[in-house]
Structure 1
Amino acid sequence: MLQYMPQYSDIKQGNYLNEYDIKKIRVGMTKLEISSNIGEPTLEGFLNPNIWYYIFYYRSGNKMLEHQILTLKFDAHDILVTVEKR
């Protein structure tokens, strides 16, 4: 009897930001300035549109090789107040 072995592909998904891109971001910038510099976010907060997420992952087969989440939080005037990289 033949046994099925799943085939895995390399998957890269999301917005990859290198250190040069991340260093372009400064507290006090507007949403427009940020999106002009590094592009639109992967995801905006569902309950809070003043939170932007730039998410990237790279998987080869069943192994996660790289994972990056950059979270940007804005005030009520669309000014960046915090940057968190995980």
Structure 2
Amino acid sequence: MLYGLLRIADKYRLRVTDLAGGSHEPNSRHYLGVAFDADTINGVRVSKNNPSYAEVMRLCRLYGATEILGPGKAGHSYHIHCAWPKP
């Protein structure tokens, strides 16, 4: 997860709001330390109106994330969630 996040950070400035903490579903990969949420890309809030969100989600997949959620998915209208396989 950290490798993917660092590679994405080569191209985009993200404001990461959750890594291993926060309040999530009981089986969330956040609690395993293999997920992150970001609500801002290059200083612009994540939303369907921010064209960068789709590219960041694509990069998450490219770098190994298997659970990628964002605008258009319930509960993810204003942030991106990228999670890697459980260790």
Instruction: Indicate the TM-score class for this superposition, using the shorter chain for normalisation.
Output: 0.3 to 0.5
Q: Which has the larger radius of gyration?
A: 1
Task: State the TM-score, normalized to the length of structure 2.
Answer: 0.32
Whichever structure has more helix as a proportion of its residues is 2
